[in-house]
Amino acid sequence: MDIFQREPGPSYVPAFAARLLLSMAKGLARAEGESKRALIDEDADSMWTLAMIVVQWYADALPPAEARVVAATLQEFEMSAIVANLSLFRERLTPFVKAAHQAQSDAQLAAAGVYFVAAVEQIGVTMLSSAIKSGPVATMKEKVTARLPLPAEIRADYYKVLRGQSADVKPSSATAPASRADRFDRADFGTRPVRKSAQAAPRSVRGQVVQAATRLPDSSRAESTETPPRPPDPNLASAEVARAYLHTLGWEGSEVERLLTGPDGKRRA
């Protein structure tokens, strides 16, 4: 399966979801602390279902031909109620999803993984983990695994990445010599702590999502009544986390800024 293909057709949605899934794995494999502990033990089928939900959520930002394929492929799953809640975190999720959508190499998947870790830190690890285990998502998981199951090779790659091994996922074109970007993909983030500049998302927002999508017990819903600290600009936080990762590898300032311009060439705030 060529996960980097973007031609509208039967393989479009699975390939997009696979890029998202492997980006998540790459981010989690290099993450520290709560993010890794809470999500790394989630089974691949649950994370695959999350990737499918994200594909549906991002459809409005896709070119018309690609959006039509997403609608035709996923309409039977009736994801609209779950998808609507992701819009609360649009600015946090967009850099990750956009980078994964446009990725054409392992290195670019790794860069998208950095954005995923930043989004998880901002949204809240506990809330995201609880949402994955919620009744609506569990029901969706049964439908997705029955109709659009996770391909065996992508499942194997997912677990290889989480164990710190190479997934050997390459584009269909001829193999190019190793670049600095490829060395970045293979680098060990785990030995260096990530500088955390972002605060958690406000508990009042978490409460809305938990009540609307995850149906957690009353003890969890009560968190929304606490007075939260004021959150930072989410785009700034994503850029800062990504910048911190790259500087720990010894990347020069100009190279860091070039990567942080993102797939569309526009610098993140």
Q: Across 39-53, 97-111, 170-184, 186-200, which has the greatest mean pLDDT?
A: 97-111
In a domain, 7, yes or no: no
In a domain, 184, yes or no: no
Give the pLDDT score at 212. 39
Expressed as residue numbers, the domain containing 60 is 12-165+189-217+226-260
- Sequence-distant contacts of 59-68: CB under 8 A, at least 24 apart: 61/94, 61/98, 62/101, 65/8, 66/6, 66/8, 66/12, 68/8
In a domain, 2, yes or no: no
CB count in 10 Å sphere of residue 48: 26
In a domain, 251, yes or no: yes
Give the pLDDT score at 171. 38
Percent of all residues in the chain with a pLDDT value above 70, rounded to a whole number: 58
Output 224 or 154, whichever has higher pLDDT. Answer: 154
In a domain, 143, yes or no: yes
Q: How confident is the model at residue 43 (pLDDT cuts 50, 70, 90)?
A: confident
User: What residues have CB less than 8 Å from 150, skipping those under 6 apart?
Assistant: 21, 44, 45, 48
In a domain, 127, yes or no: yes
In a domain, 41, yes or no: yes
Q: What are the angstrom distances between the C-alpha of 40 and each of 83, 163, 222, 242? A: 23, 10, 27, 20
Model's pTM, two decimal places? Answer: 0.63
Give the pLDDT score at 162. 86
Q: Average pLDDT for residues 244-254, to the nearest whole number?
A: 60
Give the pLDDT score at 131. 85
Give the pLDDT score at 243. 61
Please choose, from the candidates 85, 53, 46, 51, the residue with its C-alpha nearest in 3D space to the C-alpha of residue 212: 85
Output 220 or 149, whichever has higher pLDDT. Answer: 149
Model confidence pLDDT, tens digit, residues 173-185: 333 344 444 444 4
Q: Is the pLDDT of residue 22 over 60?
A: yes
Q: For the chain, how many structural domains are there in total? A: 1
Q: How confident is the model at residue 47 (pLDDT cuts 50, 70, 90)?
A: very high
In a domain, 94, yes or no: yes
Give the pLDDT score at 38. 62
Percent of all residues in the chain with a pLDDT value above 90, rounded to a whole number: 42
